[in-house]
C-alpha cells in the first residue's frame, strides 16, 4: 500500500504553497484510494530544534557505523537522550513509512522556513538513505527565481532542498513546482507583474496535478 507524507511549512494559513500541496494531496489520494496518508503542519505544530542530546545520538550512530534506521534506538543511553528520541522517533517513523513525501513550503529570505529546517534536522542522521522514495515540493516565492532570471543565483530554497534530498538521502526522484511573483498580489510597486503572477500560479496548478497522477 502506497503512503503519502504531507508536510506544510508556511506561516500563512491561506498560502499558495499550502494550496498547491493540498491540490497534490487530493489528487494523489483520489488516485490511491487505498493508500495511507499522514499530514503534519510544521508551522501550526512546530518541531523543536535539535539540542545537545540529539547530537549525542547522532555521534553514537556515526561512531558505531549504524546505518539501519531500525537500530537508531540503540543510541539512547541517558534520560536526556530518551527525551530527544521521544521527539524525533514519530517524525522519523512517518518519513521512513512514506513512499511519497510532499512538502509545501514558501521561500523566506531566499531559503526555507525555519520550521521546515527544524524537521529536516530532527529526521536526518549520518549515511541515511531514503532511495526509492519520491519527494515533491510545492513552493511559493515572492519574486522570480527561475532559470535565467537575475535572482536565480540567490535561490537557496530549491537548490538547498534538491542538493540535500539527492546528496544526503540519495533520492533521485525529486520534483519542484513553484508559483512565483506572489508579492505582486500585495505590493503596489509590483502591480504590473500581476498577470505574470497569475500565469505562474495557473501553470503550477496544472503541473501539480500532473505530478500527483504519476
Annotated binding site for FMN: 15-17
Binding residue positions: 15-17
What SS3 state is found at 192?
helix
Spatial neighbors of 13 by CB under 8 A, at least 6 apart, are none
Largest distance between two CA atoms of the chain: 60
All cell numbers assigned to 52: 545537545
d(CA 115, CA 120): 9
d(CA 106, CA 86): 28
DSSP secondary structure of 49-88: PP-HHHHHHHHHHHHTT---GGGGGGG--SHHHHHHHHHH
Sign of CA dihedral 137, 143, 145, 148: positive
Q: Quick one: 40 exposed, middle or buried, by C-beta within 10 A (0-12, 13-18, 19+)?
A: middle
126: left (phi over 0), alpha (psi -120 to 50) or beta: beta
Amino acid at each position: 500500500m502506497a503512503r503519502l507524507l504531507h508536510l506544510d511549512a508556511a506561516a500563512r494559513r491561506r498560502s499558495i504553497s499550502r494550496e498547491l500541496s493540498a491540490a497534490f494531496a487530493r489528487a494523489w489520494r483520489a488516485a490511491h484510494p487505498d493508500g495511507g496518508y499522514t499530514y503534519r503542519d510544521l508551522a501550526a505544530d512546530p518541531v523543536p530544534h535539535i539540542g545537545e542530546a540529539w547530537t549525542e545520538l547522532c555521534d553514537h550512530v556515526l561512531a558505531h557505523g549504524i546505518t539501519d534506521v531500525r537500530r537508531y534506538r540503540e543510541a539512547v543511553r541517558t534520560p536526556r537522550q530518551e527525551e530527544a528520541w521521544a521527539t524525533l522517533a514519530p517524525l522519523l517513523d512517518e518519513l521512513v513509512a512514506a513512499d511519497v513525501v510532499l512538502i509545501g513550503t514558501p521561500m523566506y529570505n531566499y531559503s526555507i522556513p525555519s520550521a521546515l529546517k527544524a524537521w529536516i534536522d530532527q529526521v536526518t542522521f549520518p549515511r541515511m538513505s531514503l532511495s526509492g522514495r519520491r519527494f515533491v515540493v510545492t513552493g511559493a516565492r515572492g519574486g522570480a527565481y527561475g532559470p535565467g532570471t537575475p535572482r536565480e543565483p540567490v535561490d537557496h530554497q530549491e537548490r538547498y532542498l534538491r542538493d540535500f534530498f539527492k546528496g544526503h538521502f540519495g533520492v533521485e526522484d525529486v520534483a519542484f513546482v513553484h508559483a512565483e511573483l506572489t508579492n505582486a498580489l500585495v505590493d503596489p510597486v509590483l502591480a504590473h507583474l500581476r498577470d505574470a503572477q497569475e500565469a505562474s500560479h495557473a501553470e503550477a496548478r496544472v503541473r501539480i496535478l500532473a505530478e500527483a497522477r504519476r
